[in-house]
Amino acid sequence: MICEDKYIYCKKEALSKEECKQIIDDFEKGEKYDWPKNKANMQYNEFYYKGASIDLTTKFWIKYLFESIEEYKAEHTFLGYGHVAPWSTNILANIQKYEPNKCYKVEHCEHSPINSNRILAWMIYLNTVNKGGGTNWPQQNFSSKAIAGDLYIWPSSWTHSHKGIVAPEEEKYILTGWSSFVDST
């Protein structure tokens, strides 16, 4: 399903609510992941979120992500069939927990001097947030709602800058990652 902007892809219920809850529970317990060894080892940005990097190849939900990326490619055939340099989905992703009143509120894109090889960004909401908590793409005049299991894929460049929407009363959990050009050197 394409949402509002034809380049922002949304797959409703890409993961079930039960699968999302299991991912959150594992994250909070620090179990079933190579990270964090304990909660003290989690990355923490006091302005935004607590989170950690994860290896996608060991996760049960990778097949749903890859299926959705293939659907995105089928919708946007320019991304395949030799039109652009080879690319693939990064095997490392992030799980992020935002406390109430915290979000990544700075408008940004996923393509920068540090990450200049990114072509797509993706995100899966792991819990439903009843007030706020979504993501806003200002240039597309589009905001998503944080609904457990919903997956979004979009171009990583400046044309799809985005920012988080504060959830004033609830926590928000997401999985997020990227697809990048393959280094051919």
pTM for the complete prediction? 0.88
72 located within any domain: yes
CA distances from 85 to 11, 43, 111, 158 (A): 26, 33, 16, 19
Radius of gyration of the chain (CA): 16
| Total structural domains within the chain | 1
Q: Which of 148, 171, 156 is nearest to 12 (CA)?
A: 148
Read off the CATH number of the domain in which 18 is found: 2.60.120.620
State pLDDT tens for residues 115-164: 889 999 999 999 999 999 999 999 999 999 999 999 999 999 999 999 99
Take residue 33 and report the two structure tokens written for it: 């992941």
Inside any domain, residue 168: yes
Range in 100-104, 111-115, 132-136 with the lowest mean pLDDT = 111-115
Position 84 confidence tier, pLDDT thresholds 50, 70, 90: confident
Task: Look at residue 34 in the predicted model and tell me its pLDDT.
Answer: 46
Question: What integer pLDDT is reported at residue 37 of this predicted model?
Answer: 42
pLDDT band at 39 (very low <50, low <70, confident <90, very high): very low
CA distances from 56 to 48, 66, 131 (A): 23, 10, 30
Cβ 179 vs Cβ 118: under 8 Å: yes
The answer as to whether 42 is a domain residue is no
88 pLDDT higher than 70: yes
Does 128 map to a domain? no
Range of the domain at 104: 9-30+48-81+88-115+137-179
* Of the candidates 135, 151, 129, the residue with the CA atom closest to the CA atom of residue 61: 151
Could you tell me if residue 131 is inside a domain?
no
Asked if residue 142 belongs to a domain, the reply is: yes
Confidence check: pLDDT of 40 > 90: no
Q: Is residue 3 part of a domain?
A: no
Alpha carbons 28 and 161: distance in angstroms, whole number: 30
Say yes or no to pLDDT of 4 above 70.
Answer: no
Q: What tokens appear for 39 in the block?
A: 């909660």
| 58: in domain | yes
Query: What local confidence, expressed as pLDDT, does residue 116 receive?
Result: 87
